[in-house]
Structure 1
């Protein structure tokens, strides 16, 4: 359930950019709230819904951590954990690697079919809802639905966010794991040790924040340029370009890490192995799909007449992009930044195969503590990581709000 931000962030951005006169015209014509939502609002934000749904499906297919921790002991596998088990149990034999390659191919083919199906759905309609006029989103009066929806939102937030968060901080503060949660069994010593005595913490936090920011900024701007080619330019092979951009995200992170090791370990002239740069390269490849889908959904809503008017007035392609397209798709760019930076802070699957003693990330540090049987310490570090992520999101929200003003 924690994957819902993939859809939530993108749909919010689309709703903020949607021309409210479309809904107002329907309301004047006598249409009700349900009819307006079904026939106008949902079809117009369909690119954002489909993009978020695609990201969730691909992420779930290629996800390793949650299934590995909760499912393997119960005999529950997905393709990434099955690949890991095959290779791990056989000690990396050729037969297990061959089996893993076949399973990874299944993921690639499935991802290709999903992308193809999405393109077929979106090609049936037009979704350009941003024109040359300024507007504000229309606020709806929920009336009788106000309190039921409020209760649903509070219950959802309580059970999926607040309850797990409280448990993390409580377990991270217990003196003896397994004993009842009493005041005598609670202490801040674990957090003190993690922050001031555990040598790995400082480097892990610095590495995670630096890698997350670098990967988010690079993929955000690169994604806008690539998405513009895919959505707005009539060039051959742009479908292949989109497929290649989505491909790294649809395969397990361990496959990405292995490919990066083989490509950047000196065999082709450049050796990034055991450096922070090889992790950055893997992050960029891994999370480019987030930027492509978020920016493509935003560009789908920018009418071609805006660019045509700019070019007819003598503006160059770069000027049109800088002064018209980028400001209009800024919500999509911000969505891409969030969707990349925050997951990169807690990334594990790629980092665990690429880290060196001096390039540990937060996810790796938490994982190694848990593997060593230090459940309480790993939970304490997870709580600290959660605080860092929340503070980072608040700072980004504050910064983007000032920029928009």
Structure 2
């Protein structure tokens, strides 16, 4: 036992090397392989062919334009909800916040499909209401503007959450002093609240921008039919037309996406670094403005925005799943549950997708929970540079666009594994490992937050009484962090079950996931079946979020994103 535990430390000697080794496999090795492939392509002159391709520059243009406009829309909507729901006494804050965050949890391909069903001349819902444009009218969402609009809707909750976290620390006494001095609420907001809120707004904008850059589901459904390609969809199409130069070209394109994402985050850091606000006052005491009669304006406005962001698209999706074919108006005569029968009873591919997604999500959630319990313990107890490095490496795959992570794992596992001579590419296991890398940071955050709230004296007393590490873990630590661990499982399950961007490049026959099948069904013209499957996915998302909502009072602050 003398070599099992570090002298003067309650951690097993091999625990940190084990976590570091896992991180090397999940993060360092794929990214290094991606970088090496890109450099090899550069050395072989592959960069010339990539840079000479007009498709690259067109994709880069549409990537930046749609991401910038999508970020602006996200900031406008997300900031409005954050200010109103955080700083005012408007009624119904809890339900409104829950509903506003919901679009972020819905897969982007489902969001795109719902909006397509809600607009255009073939919309079953608009036809049923007699509001459909004339036949032959263009679908307005099949455009760069449509992609940017849906980016804004999908990522506005990210701005809301980032800005709300900053607004929660605005001191109440500073606002009250300004109001008592005769300043109007508008001037108080402009001169005190808004400057303090800018760091959170900048952070939210940067997160939204990076998310737009890496989004695949929305530009795939809205852009490809209109021959509008972003970098992520261009990579997808290059894999579809595989040649001997594909790996090198895709590695270079992935590097460009990663570079754009890093630049976006660097701009955020630079902008935040120039602003240094010291907040003095009651820590955590929220500043509240009484809006009086303005609530009769703000409340309907919030309700209208939520209706068009959430309710109307879902109703259109439901209408599209209840008609025999896309473009047929929903009436009592055309009402049919055929699509749901296909999804649940007849279509082998949808049953396979459900089984695969549930398997991947369950194993990912539970496997990462086990890793997070160990890694969270190490990272919450160690304060050295090595622990900081490991924590940063865990964050990198989650921060990178999913398409980049998928390419990196293809490069690592396309060839047979040494010694074992087994190829993971084309199997469900490569998707599982990529999920582990992509969602490790999501699983770890709640667990680390829970560990840091524990009193170390509890564990120290057990150690002095002779309890070994795993005994302390089983009998003391795990029961205390159980609520956060449960939230971690639900969050990872929810994200993994609806994932598309990573699995879009990694799936093969028999390993399709729900996100892949929804995209393929819509792409093949079976929009009614795709809509029915999407309705079931949305219902699953809502149920999982309601479970998290019910657990919220037992969890550390910040674990449930939309709660205080």
2:522 is the alignment partner of 1:373: no
Unaligned 5+ segments in structure 2 are 1-152, 462-468, 558-564
* 1:205 corresponds to which of 344, 354, 358: 354
* 1:114 corresponds to which of 256, 264, 267: 264
* 2:307 corresponds to which of 131, 144, 158: 158
Q: Distance in 2 between matches of 1:23 and 1:268?
A: 64
2:322 is the alignment partner of 1:173: yes
Query: What is the CA distance between 1:404 and its match in structure 2?
Result: 6.7
Query: What is the CA distance between 1:57 and its match in structure 2?
Result: 1.0
2:299 is the alignment partner of 1:147: no
Residue deviations 1:295-351 (CA, integer Å, cap 9, x gap): 99x99xxxx9x99xx899x989x99xx99xx99xx7xx97x8887554433222322
Query: What is the CA distance between 1:252 and its match in structure 2?
Result: 5.0
Query: What is the CA distance between 1:22 and its match in structure 2?
Result: 4.6
Cα contact 2:324–2:334 (8 A) shared by 1: yes
1:240–1:395 Cα change, 3 Å:
closer
2:250 is the alignment partner of 1:125: no
Query: What is the CA distance between 1:378 and its match in structure 2?
Result: 1.4
Q: Distance in 1 between matches of 2:490 and 2:178?
A: 34
Which residue in the other structure is 2:3 paired with? none
How many aligned residue pairs are there? Answer: 383
1:382–1:354 Cα change, 3 Å:
same
3-state SS in 2 of match to 1:183: coil
Query: What is the CA distance between 1:287 and its match in structure 2?
Result: 4.2
1:202-351 matches, within 5 Å, as 202-209=351-358, 211-212=360-361, 215=364, 218=368, 235=385, 242=392, 245-246=395-396, 249-251=399-401, 253=403, 255-264=404-413, 266-268=416-418, 272-273=424-425, 275-287=427-439, 341-351=493-503
TM-score by length of 2: 0.55
Residue deviations 1:341-379 (CA, integer Å, cap 9, x gap): 544332223223333555432112223333443221111
1:74-113 matches, within 5 Å, as 74-88=226-240, 91-113=241-263
The alignment's C-alpha RMSD in Å is: 4.7
1:140–1:219 Cα change, 3 Å:
farther
Cα contact 2:360–2:432 (8 A) shared by 1: yes
Cα contact 1:104–1:252 (8 A) shared by 2: no
Q: Distance in 2 between matches of 1:274 and 1:118?
A: 38
* 1:396 corresponds to which of 548, 558, 562: 548
Cα contact 1:223–1:295 (8 A) shared by 2: yes
Query: What is the CA distance between 1:110 and its match in structure 2?
Result: 1.9
Query: What is the CA distance between 1:98 and its match in structure 2?
Result: 3.4
3-state SS in 1 of match to 2:333: helix
Query: What is the CA distance between 1:118 and its match in structure 2?
Result: 1.9
Q: Distance in 2 between matches of 1:207 and 1:174?
A: 28
3-state SS in 2 of match to 1:106: helix
Cα contact 1:17–1:137 (8 A) shared by 2: yes
1:137–1:196 Cα change, 3 Å:
farther
1:18–1:287 Cα change, 3 Å:
farther
Q: Distance in 2 between matches of 1:224 and 1:55?
A: 28
Cα contact 1:224–1:291 (8 A) shared by 2: no
* 1:55 corresponds to which of 184, 204, 207: 207
Q: Distance in 2 between matches of 1:184 and 1:190?
A: 16
- Larger C-alpha radius of gyration, 1 or 2? 2
Q: Distance in 2 between matches of 1:338 and 1:30?
A: 48
Query: What is the CA distance between 1:400 and its match in structure 2?
Result: 1.9
Q: Distance in 2 between matches of 1:181 and 1:149?
A: 33
Cα contact 1:51–1:294 (8 A) shared by 2: no
TM-score by length of 1: 0.74
1:108–1:190 Cα change, 3 Å:
closer
3-state SS in 1 of match to 2:218: helix
Query: What is the CA distance between 1:14 and its match in structure 2?
Result: 4.6
1:263–1:103 Cα change, 3 Å:
closer
2:217 is the alignment partner of 1:65: yes
Cα contact 2:251–2:407 (8 A) shared by 1: no
